[in-house]
Amino acid sequence: MYRFFISRESIDEAAGTIQIQGEDVGHIHSVLRMKPGEEVLLCTGMEGDQTDYLCRIEGYSDGAVLTKIVSKNRSQQELPSRLYLFQGLPKADKLESIIQKSVELGVYRIVPTLMKRCVVKPDTKKIAKKTARWNAIALAAAKQSKRGIVPEVTEPVSFLEALELTRSLDHVVVPYENSDGIEHTRVVLSSVKPGESCGIFIGPEGGFDENEINMLRDIGGAIVTLGHRILRTETAGPAVLAALMLHLEE
Ligand code: SAH
């Protein structure tokens, strides 16, 4: 069943109706050629509102799709824990594929993080445009993977700002290329429980600076290995998300 994200304002709970507006209207009408009577799944995708509305298409009017709410349920599409990916800003457009894979794997929020060995320094003039593009990629991936929310990609933060953000998290996991002991990794990942939040720090192509690892350890980060092989920065984040998803999915 097709799933579309709608704004909270387009829901009229009293009347039991929802209007789909914007670019999805053309897709529904002209590409999918959906007819009155057919059903769609609608959700706001907003943090904290994981309601799936099963709706029946009633018709088209004024550039909107008019639908009637048939039923509403708590979205089954989300992991029971909030996984934050603090991704060391990678070169070129690698972040775009990291965003796409991470959204498919259930990430809650992606925080591009400036680390010592990052090669690229974001151009402040282009940040807003880049961040908007990153969030458009997250929206497309959320639609394709039928997420109950649209994970946010924040503007890049400094390493110290990222450390500050971890204060509100229950767990911080730091895959570090120079660590070992896969059993410790298993213990750390399985300690993340439903309802908890977990930050995951991934270094850029050049890896972590020793000082960054010390600071992450100081704030209680668990330094873990992801095995004997060296993963690319664009592989490591999705690998950890997949391991956590396997452990957390209900
Ligand atoms: N330049 C480094 C690799 C950096 S890989 C080197 O060649 O040694 C980018 C990031 O992926 C690392 O900083 C780490 O966060 C993660 N990573 C890659 N392989 C890993 C492994 N085997 N164990 C733990 N983390 C790993």
Q: What is the pLDDT along the chain (250 residues), one digit of tens a residue?
A: 899 999 999 999 999 999 999 999 999 999 999 999 999 999 998 877 889 999 999 999 989 999 999 999 988 899 999 999 999 999 988 999 999 999 999 999 999 999 999 998 889 899 999 999 999 999 999 999 999 999 999 999 999 999 999 999 999 999 999 999 999 999 999 999 999 999 999 999 999 999 999 999 999 999 999 999 999 999 999 999 999 999 999 8
What would you report as the CA-atom Rg of the chain, rounded to the nearest whole angstrom?
A: 20
| Helices of type H across 6-90 | 23-26
Domain with CATH 2.40.240.20 in the chain: 3-74
Mutation pick for ligand 1 pocket among 179, 185, 231 (CB with most ligand atoms within 8 Å): 231
> Whose CA is closest to atom 26 on ligand 1?
177
Ligand 1 first shell, C-beta below 6 A = 175-177, 202-203, 206-208, 225-227, 229-231, 233, 236
Q: Give the pairing type, strands 51-61 and 11-12.
A: unpaired
pTM: 0.91
The superfamily (CATH) of domain 82-248 is: SPOUT methyltransferase, trefoil knot domain (3.40.1280.10)
Looking at residue 75, its pLDDT comes to 87
Between the CA of 177 and the centroid of ligand 1 the distance, in Å, is 4
Give 85's DSSP letter: E
One-letter amino acid identity for 27? H
Between the CA of 103 and the centroid of ligand 1 the distance, in Å, is 21
> Whose CA is closest to atom 3 on ligand 1?
207
Between the CA of 203 and the centroid of ligand 1 the distance, in Å, is 7
Looking at residue 177, its pLDDT comes to 94
Instruction: Give CA–CA dist 196/188, Å, rounded.
Output: 13
* Class at the top of the CATH hierarchy for domain 3-74: mainly beta
160, containing H or E segment: helix 159-165
**CB–CB of 216/71 below 8 Å?**
no
Domain with CATH 3.40.1280.10 in the chain: 82-248
Q: Residue for token digits 């809650």?
A: 108
Looking at residue 76, its pLDDT comes to 86
Looking at residue 50, its pLDDT comes to 83
CA 52 to chain centre: 18
Looking at residue 122, its pLDDT comes to 85
Looking at residue 46, its pLDDT comes to 86
Instruction: Give CA–CA dist 238/185, Å, rounded.
Output: 15
Looking at residue 118, its pLDDT comes to 97
Atom of ligand 1 nearest to the CA of 203: 13
